Amino acid sequence: MIKIAVFGAGTWGIALARLLAVNGRDVTVWSAIPTELKSLSTTHRHPNLPGMELPSTMHYTADIAEACAGKDILLFAVPSPFVRSTAKKAAPYISDSQLIVDVAKGIEDKTLMTMSEIIEDELTKQKRSARVVALSGPTHAEEVARDMPTLIVAASEDEEAAKAVQKAFSTPTFRVYTNTDRRGTELGGAVKNVIALAVGIALGLGYGDNAKAALITRGNAELSRLGIAMGCKPETFSGLSGMGDLIVTCTSMHSRNLHAGMLLGHGKTVEEAKTEVGQVVEGINALPAACRLAKKYKVDMPIVQSVDAILGGRLAASNALASLMGRDLKRE
C-alpha cells in the first residue's frame, strides 16, 4: 500500500487526503496547528468542506519527523507563505528515496522561486535531495471532496517521477496527466490567481461576460509571454495548469481570488477583502513576484500591472478599464 503524508490541513490538503484514503492509500495528515488535527480526528469533518466525511483509516500527527517516517510520498499542501518554513522543518527527515509532491500555488517574492524550487532549495541547504513533482490544474477542493470529476497534471523534468505521482494519485474520479514542464505548470498556477483578481474586480464594477472572457484570454496571453520568456513550453499554457486553471479560477463560485477581486471592485480595501474571504488569497501573495518577473524578463503584462496598481492604491478600480482599453491598438 502506498504511504503518503499530507502537510497542511486546509481545504486542499484534506480534500486530497480523503480522496487518497478512500482509494486505498495509507494517509497521514501533518499540521502546524495541533487543534485542527484534534478536531479532524474526532469529528472526521473539515469546517470549510461541509458534507464531506473523512474515513476513520486516516492518521494525524503534529510531529513532522513521524509524518515523514516510512512514507513513499510527501505532499506539500500548505498555503504558499508556509512552504519554505514547512520544507525547512521537514528536510532533516526526508530521504532521497521519497517523492515530494507540491500542490501549493505561488511564487516567492524575495527569490522568484516556484514552490517546488523552494522545497528543493531547503533540501539543498540541509544537504538533502529528493525528486519534487508539481501537481496542478483546475481543481477546486469543494468538488474533489465530493468526488466530482477532476483532471490535473503531474509535472517534472524527471518523467519517471511524474509517472509515479500519476499512478499514486489517479482514481476513478481524479485523472492525472503528466508533463515535463514543471516551471511552466507552476507559473500558470500562480499567475492565474492574479488574473482572477482582475476578473473579480471587473465583475465587482458591474462589467459582464465579454469583459470576463477578454480578461481570461488576454490574461493567458500575458502568462504565455512570460512563461516563454522564462524558457517554459508554450503548450503548457493551453493545458490544464494554464488555460484550464485560468477558466476555473476566473469563473467558479468557489474561487477565493475571484471573490476577493469582486470585493475590491465593490470598493473594499485589500485588508477588508482578505478578512471577508477568510482563507488564503494566493493572487495577492503572488502579485509582487509576478510584477518582478515581468520586469526581469521584460514582458508586457498590462492586466497584472493594473491589478498591482489597484491593490497598491495607485489606480482606482473604476479607472482601470479606461487605462487598459486606451492602450495603443495592436495585433492579437
Ligand X SMILES: NC(=O)c1ccc[n+]([C@@H]2O[C@H](COP(=O)([O-])OP(=O)(O)OC[C@H]3O[C@@H](n4cnc5c(N)ncnc54)[C@H](O)[C@@H]3O)[C@@H](O)[C@H]2O)c1
In the annotated binding site, the residues are 8-13, 82, 105, 137, 139, 141, 192, 245, 255-257, 280, 282
Which of 11, 114, 185, 236 binds ligand X (CB under 6 A)? It is: 11
Q: Give the active site residue among 110, 192, 295, 330.
A: 192
Minimum distance from residue 59 beta carbon to ligand X (Å): 15
- Residue of 73, 78, 195, 286 interacting with ligand X (CB under 6 A): 78
Q: Is 192 a catalytic residue?
A: yes
∠ CA 292-330-309 to the nearest 5 degrees?
A: 35
Of 40 and 205, which CB lies nearer to ligand X in the complex structure? Answer: 40
Q: Are 68 and 90 in contact, with CB atoms under 8 Å apart?
A: yes
Residues 56 and 58: their CA atoms lie apart, in Å, by 6
Strands of 174-179's sheet in order across? 59-61, 26-30, 3-7, 73-76, 99-102, 131-136, 150-155, 174-179
Please, are residues 116 and 132 in contact by the beta-carbon 8 Å criterion? Answer: yes
Positions 109 through 148 that interact with ligand X (CB under 6 A): 139-141
Binding annotation for NAD(+): 8-13, 82, 141, 256
Answer yes or no whether residue 280 interacts with ligand X by CB under 6 A. yes
Stretch that binds ligand X, among 99-107, 235-243, 288-296, 320-328 (CB under 6 A): 99-107
Contact call for residues 155 and 145 (beta carbons, < 8 A): no
156 touching ligand X, by CB under 6 A: no
Question: Is residue 224 near ligand X by the rule CB under 6 A?
Answer: no
End-to-end CA distance of the chain: 51
Under rule CB under 6 A, residue 290 binds ligand X: no
Q: Which is nearer to ligand X, 46 or 128 (CB)?
A: 46
C-beta of residue 190 within 8 angstroms of C-beta of residue 280: no
* Binds ligand X (CB under 6 A): choice among 5, 10, 118, 119: 10
Residues contributing to the annotated binding site for NADPH: 11-12, 105, 141, 256, 280, 282
Q: Which residues pair with 29 in a beta bridge?
A: 6, 60
Is 188 a binder of ligand X (CB under 6 A)? no
Beta strands in 117-257 (DSSP E): 131-136, 150-155, 174-179
Q: Which residues contact 323 (CB under 8 A, 6 or more apart)?
A: 306, 315
Least separation, in Å, of the C-beta of 86 and ligand X? 5
Beta bridge partners of 151: 175
Cell numbers found for residue 283? 493572487
What is the binding site for ligand X (CB under 6 A)? 8-13, 31-33, 36, 77-80, 82, 85-86, 103-106, 139-141, 279-280, 282
Catalytically active residues are 192
